[in-house]
């Protein structure tokens, strides 16, 4: 009996993206998901791809895209990096909404911030990247640059960058996520708390 051609099997395989995320608390996420409508920039009902409240996140590191499943060796490295990273909780302030062009040529709507409000998450990304290097991740799997943002809509008409009242919260944990590309589904593989130095030395 004839089987399915290899090329067809590859085309059918589900891509998996392996990420480290931070996410807003639920009360902040509810505000964020309504931002575009509140600003008079509603997603297009026909072509828009707005994020659901449970999908809002900031990608800190992306370790790669894998067909069918994430290899066990990659999961082990990611878990080890997460366990060994040394970082404290930090505050984040996002006070800019902007449109930007994605790699597919489509305009996206994002929530981001200015330098001072992003300092904590940039420092955390640096700590996480160092932990990833120590456990053996390739440099190609670690960010060369970092522009922290929350994607609000993956297909949005371009609009002028504008300042908004700050969306702020304290980040106290990060997570490892298997994202099923194209399905909008994020499977949380692990969560790790960020511990202040004072807590670390409280006996």
Note the pLDDT tens digit of each residue in 163-179.
999 999 999 999 999 99
Which pLDDT score, from 0 to 100, does residue 167 have? 98
Has residue 96 been placed in a domain?
Answer: yes
Has residue 189 been placed in a domain?
Answer: yes
Q: Which helix (H) or strand (E) holds 127?
A: helix 115-135
Which pLDDT score, from 0 to 100, does residue 12 have? 63
- More confident of the two residues 200 and 79: 79
Note the pLDDT tens digit of each residue in 43-94.
876 666 788 999 999 999 999 999 999 999 999 999 999 999 999 999 999 9
pTM greater than the 0.85 cutoff: yes
Which pLDDT score, from 0 to 100, does residue 198 have? 65
Which pLDDT score, from 0 to 100, does residue 183 have? 80
Has residue 87 been placed in a domain?
Answer: yes
Full residue range of the structural domain in which residue 102 is found: 6-200
**CB contact at 8 A, 21 and 175:** yes
Instruction: Name which of 176, 135, 153 is nearest 16 in CA terms.
Output: 176
- Under the phi-then-psi rule, with left for phi > 0, alpha for psi from -120 to 50, and beta for the rest, what region is 130? alpha
Note the pLDDT tens digit of each residue in 116-160.
999 999 999 999 999 999 999 999 999 999 999 999 998 898 999
β-strand partners of 22 = 58
Note the pLDDT tens digit of each residue in 96-112.
999 998 777 789 999 99
Has residue 72 been placed in a domain?
Answer: yes
Has residue 1 been placed in a domain?
Answer: no
Which pLDDT score, from 0 to 100, does residue 5 have? 45
In the numeric block, the tokens 């504008």 are attached to 162
Q: What are the φ and ψ backbone dihedral angles of 157, each rounded to 5 degrees?
A: -60, 140
**CB contact at 8 A, 61 and 132:** yes
* Number of domains forming the structure of the chain: 1
Which pLDDT score, from 0 to 100, does residue 182 have? 77
β-strand partners of 58 = 22
Has residue 57 been placed in a domain?
Answer: yes
Distances (CA, A) of 113 to 92, 119, 167, 197: 9, 10, 9, 27
**Alpha-carbon span 81 to 77, nearest angstrom:** 6
- Under the phi-then-psi rule, with left for phi > 0, alpha for psi from -120 to 50, and beta for the rest, what region is 25? beta
The pLDDT-based confidence of 6 (bands split at 50, 70, 90) is: very low
**Alpha-carbon span 167 to 189, nearest angstrom:** 27
Sign of CA dihedral 186, 191, 196, 199: positive
CATH of the domain at 90: 3.90.1140.10
Has residue 61 been placed in a domain?
Answer: yes
Has residue 154 been placed in a domain?
Answer: yes
Instruction: Name which of 63, 86, 58 is nearest 147 in CA terms.
Output: 58
């Amino acid at each position: 009996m004839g089987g399915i051609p290899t090329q067809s099997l590859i085309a059918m395989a589900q891509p998996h993206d392996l990420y480290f995320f931070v996410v807003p608390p639920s009360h902040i996420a509810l505000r964020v998901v309504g931002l575009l409508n509140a600003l008079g920039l509603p997603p297009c009902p026909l072509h828009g791809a707005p994020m659901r409240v449970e999908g809002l996140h900031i990608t800190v590191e992306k370790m790669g895209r894998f067909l069918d499943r994430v290899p066990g060796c990659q999961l082990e490295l990611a878990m080890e990096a997460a366990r060994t990273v040394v970082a404290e909780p930090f505050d984040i302030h996002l006070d800019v909404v902007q449109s930007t062009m994605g790699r597919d040529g489509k305009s996206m709507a994002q929530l981001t911030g200015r330098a001072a409000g992003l300092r904590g998450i940039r420092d955390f990304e640096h700590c996480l990247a160092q932990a990833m290097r120590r456990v053996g991740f390739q440099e190609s799997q670690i960010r060369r640059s970092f522009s922290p943002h929350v994607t609000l809509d993956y297909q949005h008409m371009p609009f002028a960058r504008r300042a908004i009242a700050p969306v702020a919260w304290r980040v106290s944990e990060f997570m490892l996520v298997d994202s099923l590309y194209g399905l909008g589904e994020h499977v949380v593989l692990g969560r790790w708390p960020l511990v202040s130095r004072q807590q670390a030395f409280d006996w």
